[in-house]
């Protein structure tokens, strides 16, 4: 009987397929992802420990970072990484020569370390060698490199190795950075930029660097903005897209190669989200389609174009389930509403995560499998099982060890059911869930197992 259960567990773990991702962030040469079960994964270049797995060895496939399952969001810099847990704590690892980790030192770290003791971090983003974050009280904080362009926004040209509050405002809503400039939106809908401005990427009508947040125009209808390498893409609340800065590869999307120091509206397109990368950008529309524009020399647009530049937004394939997107350095990632992760573009350090040991580029979105941290020995030792699957009303959970709790998450990583059991078997009523795929996380004897279940 134990052999049969072991085989069933192995099949269940393999059936997780690619439908398990909650978030993914493309960087320069490494990628971070969070699965629906809250575990953290990384892959790609690891020369200074930016993957966080305790080594400095590159990996071509996703590796789990630590054993925690309460990771919420991630941010990727040039060679450093940041993440926020569901308890509001902030963590960092990788290169730290300019204080970009924020731990008060200049020493690299190859495993995540907590930054300070605050537990009210809301969001974080990473520039090439600096970091910017917003707390739940609406305050803005920055640390890392600042000597060249003032991209921290504190009015100085001095590096900071601990989070430093920027101004006194408490209405910051979102912030984004890529290389050496920062863009942010306040809760009143105003758009602000600062840092390097040689190509007009700040959108304030000139080419002078700004060392403090500077307002872009007078509109209060900005919804979000994304910083690329010396250019910016921003959306109004209506979904209309505006772009400014460098345009040498058509990355502004206005079908020209002229740079602009002020926002230029990109006509005929209404987007729900946008992401700017090194020299390209991607966006999603309300119908779930994905669009891309800019340089495509390494397949980063995903459109398998015959030219190296695409000057206007062009649909990527025919899929209509795109939800979360990220544009990195010559590559991109996207997550569909099903929880599937797709990647395309440059792959010279394995940043696409296919695990095939090659650096082959992908010209169109290709799915990344869903990794599991369960080894063969773990499977043999465990007799934990759930049934029936698919399920309609009652899901049964059994284990040789006492089950402390069981939680069910949707494909977006949101907890929809949580139940304390404190027994070797129990039942969970799932009749109130909508039909679709879910993940069941079971805790028993200090062991956590995650299963995929189909609700009919």
DSSP calls for 110-160: EEEEE-SS---EEEEEE-SSEEEEEETTS-EEEEE--TTT-TT-SSS---E
- CA dist., res. 228 & res. 277, Å (int): 5
- CA dist., res. 54 & res. 47, Å (int): 11
Query: Torsion angle, CA of 157/162/163/168, rounded to 10 degrees?
Result: -60
Q: Which of 58, 99, 61, 67 is nearest to 82 (CA)?
A: 99
* Angstrom distances, CA of residue 383 to CA of 10, 273, 340, 386, 397: 11, 44, 28, 10, 11
Which domain, by its residues, includes 357?
Answer: 18-368
CA 386 to chain centre: 31
User: Is the domain of 438 the same as that of 338?
Assistant: no
User: Is the domain of 316 the same as that of 206?
Assistant: yes
| CATH code (residue 112) | 2.130.10.30
Is residue 255 situated within a structural domain?
yes
Q: Which of 256, 254, 279, 257 is nearest to 269 (CA)?
A: 254
Helix (H, G, I), strand (E, B) or coil at 255: coil
Helix (H, G, I), strand (E, B) or coil at 14: helix
User: Is the domain of 303 the same as that of 386?
Assistant: no
User: Is the domain of 381 the same as that of 300?
Assistant: no
Low-confidence ranges of the chain (pLDDT < 70): 1-18, 306, 373-383, 411-413, 445-447
Is residue 10 situated within a structural domain?
no
User: Is the domain of 449 the same as that of 317?
Assistant: no
User: Is the domain of 61 the same as that of 190?
Assistant: yes
User: Is the domain of 334 the same as that of 381?
Assistant: no
User: Is the domain of 22 the same as that of 168?
Assistant: yes
Is residue 388 situated within a structural domain?
yes
Is residue 7 situated within a structural domain?
no
User: Is the domain of 76 the same as that of 104?
Assistant: yes
Last residue of a domain, one of 325, 347, 368: 368
Last residue of a domain, one of 316, 343, 368: 368
**Per-residue pLDDT reduced to its tens digit, 257-281:** 999 999 999 988 999 999 999 999 9
Is residue 130 situated within a structural domain?
yes
Is residue 2 situated within a structural domain?
no
| CATH code (residue 386) | 2.60.40.1220
- CA dist., res. 142 & res. 449, Å (int): 37
Last residue of a domain, one of 368, 397, 413: 368
Query: pLDDT value at position 411?
Result: 61
Query: pLDDT value at position 425?
Result: 86
Is residue 13 situated within a structural domain?
no
Please, is 338 exposed, middle or buried when counting C-beta atoms within 10 Å of its C-beta (0-12, 13-18, 19+)? middle
Q: Could you give the number of structural domains in the chain?
A: 2
Give the contacts of 92 (CB within 8 A, at least 6 positions apart).
Answer: 80, 81, 82, 83, 100, 101, 102, 103, 109, 112, 113, 115, 131
Is residue 381 situated within a structural domain?
yes
User: Is the domain of 225 the same as that of 281?
Assistant: yes
Query: pLDDT value at position 306?
Result: 67
């Amino acid at each position: 009987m134990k052999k049969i259960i072991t085989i069933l567990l192995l099949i269940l773990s393999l059936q997780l397929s690619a439908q398990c991702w909650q978030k993914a962030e493309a960087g320069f040469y490494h990628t971070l992802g969070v699965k629906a079960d809250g575990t953290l994964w990384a892959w790609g270049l690891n020369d200074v420990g930016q993957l966080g797995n305790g080594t400095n060895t590159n990996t071509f496939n996703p590796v789990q970072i630590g054993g925690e399952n309460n990771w919420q969001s991630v941010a990727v810099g040039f060679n450093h990484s940041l993440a926020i847990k569901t308890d509001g704590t902030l963590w960092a690892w990788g290169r730290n020569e300019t204080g970009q980790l924020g731990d008060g030192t200049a020493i690299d770290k190859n495993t995540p370390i907590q930054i300070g003791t605050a537990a009210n971090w809301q969001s974080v983003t990473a520039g090439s060698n600096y970091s910017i974050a917003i707390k739940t009280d609406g305050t803005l904080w920055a640390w890392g490199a600042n000597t060249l362009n003032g991209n921290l926004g504190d009015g100085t040209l001095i590096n900071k190795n601990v989070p430093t509050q920027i101004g006194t405002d408490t209405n910051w809503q979102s912030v984004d950075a890529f290389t050496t400039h920062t863009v942010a939106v306040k809760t009143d809908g105003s758009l602000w930029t600062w840092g390097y401005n040689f190509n007009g990427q700040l959108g304030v009508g000139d080419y002078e660097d700004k060392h403090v947040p500077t307002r872009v125009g007078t509109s209060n209808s900005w919804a979000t903005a994304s910083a690329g390498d010396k250019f910016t893409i921003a959306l109004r609340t209506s979904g209309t897209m505006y772009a400014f800065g460098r345009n040498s590869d058509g990355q502004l999307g206005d079908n020209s190669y002229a740079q602009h120091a002020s926002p230029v509206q990109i006509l005929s397109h209404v987007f729900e989200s946008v992401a700017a990368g090194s020299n390209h950008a991607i966006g999603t529309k309300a119908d779930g389609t994905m669009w891309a524009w800019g340089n495509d020399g390494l397949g980063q647009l995903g459109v398998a174009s015959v030219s190296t530049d695409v000057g206007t937004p062009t649909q990527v394939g025919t899929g209509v389930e795109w939800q979360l997107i990220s544009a990195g350095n010559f590559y991109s990632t996207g997550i569909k509403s099903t929880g599937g992760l797709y990647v395309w573009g440059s792959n010279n350090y394995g940043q696409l995560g296919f695990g095939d040991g090659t650096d082959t580029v992908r010209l169109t979105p290709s799915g990344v499998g869903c990794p599991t941290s369960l080894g063969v020995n773990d499977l043999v030792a465990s007799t934990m099982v759930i049934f029936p699957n698919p399920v309609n009303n009652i899901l049964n959970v059994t284990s040789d060890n006492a089950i402390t709790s069981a939680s069910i998450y949707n494909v977006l990583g949101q907890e929809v059911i949580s139940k304390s059991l404190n027994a070797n078997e129990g039942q969970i009523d799932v009749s109130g869930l909508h039909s679709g795929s879910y993940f069941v996380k079971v805790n028993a004897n200090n062991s956590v197992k995650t299963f995929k279940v189909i609700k009919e």
